[in-house]
Structure 1
Amino acid sequence: MKIQGKLFIWLAVFILAIAVIYGVWSKEAAGTTALFMAFGLSIMIGFYLAFTAKRIDAGAQDNKEADVADDAGELGFFSPYSWWPLALGVGGALAFMGIVFGWWLMYFSTPIIVLGLFGWVFEYYRGETQNQ
């Protein structure tokens, strides 16, 4: 995880340099602001990864002598047949259409987003009788 932190910090330095050059050269506020925000996000991720790398054991990616098989193993649990991301996608699409067509559309998108979020988070906490 140490290398990922360094990569994001170097990316942040690059984005900062590009933001300054772009801001001076173009004198355009929206793009310059977006680049500075991208710098902020990259530096936050980089410092988080660098800070976390100090607290956990070194992984196979931190060892220059490691093989690909050294990092094999379970990566986590991913829900294979979940429909809740579709509900979140529909709710998010309606919310963004609400920005374009009218804020009244948020009244329809907010319950869909909340329902999809709660359904996805608590998908496996329904008890033994619900899964039969």
Structure 2
Amino acid sequence: MKIQGKMFMWLSVFILAMAIVYGLWSKEPAGTTALFLAFGLSIMIGFYLGFTAKRVDVGAQDNKEADVADDAGELGFFSPHSWQPLSLGIGGALAFLGVAVGWWLLYFSAPLILIGVWGWVFEYYRGENRTQ
């Protein structure tokens, strides 16, 4: 993760330089704003990866002597089945549609989003997955 953090930090420096040059040269506010926002996002990702790399064990991608097989194996736990992302997706789509169509649509999207978040957080605390 250390190398990815450095890559994003260098990318953010490049994007900042391009945002300044683009802003001074074109005097176009939308593209300049987009480039500055891309700079902010890139620096956030680089900082997160660099910060996380200090807290976890060194991975195979940070070892110059590593083989491809050294990075094989289990990557973590991923839920095999869940209906909660569907509720969140529909609720999020209705919320964004509410911005375009009318704010009244948020009354229908907020319960769907809350049900989806609540269900996703407590998915493994009920039913057959509940621990005793």
Task: State TM-score, norm by structure 2.
Answer: 0.90
Please give the per-residue CA displacement for 1:31-62, whole angstroms capped at 9, x wherever unaligned.
21121121112112212222222233211101
* Counterpart for residue 15 of structure 2: 15
1:127 CA displacement: 4.9
2: distance between equivalents of 1:129 and 1:121? Answer: 13
Change (3 A) 1:129 1:44: closer
* Counterpart for residue 30 of structure 1: 30
Change (3 A) 1:4 1:97: same
1:14 CA displacement: 1.4
Matching of residues 1-132 of structure 1 within 5 Å: 1-128=1-128
2: distance between equivalents of 1:51 and 1:125? Answer: 31
Change (3 A) 1:65 1:111: same
For structure 1, which runs of at least 5 residues remain unmatched after alignment? Answer: none
1:26 CA displacement: 1.9
Task: Tell me the C-alpha RMSD between the 2 structures.
Answer: 1.6
1:86 CA displacement: 0.7
Change (3 A) 1:41 1:67: same
2: distance between equivalents of 1:79 and 1:51? Answer: 26
1:92 CA displacement: 0.5
1: distance between equivalents of 2:51 and 2:81? Answer: 35
Give the aligned residue type for 1:53. Answer: A
Runs (4+) off by over 4 Å = 127-130
Please identify, of 16-25 and 106-115, the stretch whose mean Cα deviation from structure 2 is larger.
16-25
The total of aligned residue pairs comes to 130
1:76 CA displacement: 1.1
1:129 CA displacement: 7.9
Name the % identity: 78
2: distance between equivalents of 1:129 and 1:84? Answer: 16
Please give the per-residue CA displacement for 1:111-132, whole angstroms capped at 9, x wherever unaligned.
10011111111111115487xx
1:93 CA displacement: 0.4
- 1:41 counterpart SS class: helix
Task: State TM-score, norm by structure 1.
Answer: 0.90
Please identify, of 21-30 and 109-118, the stretch whose mean Cα deviation from structure 2 is larger.
21-30
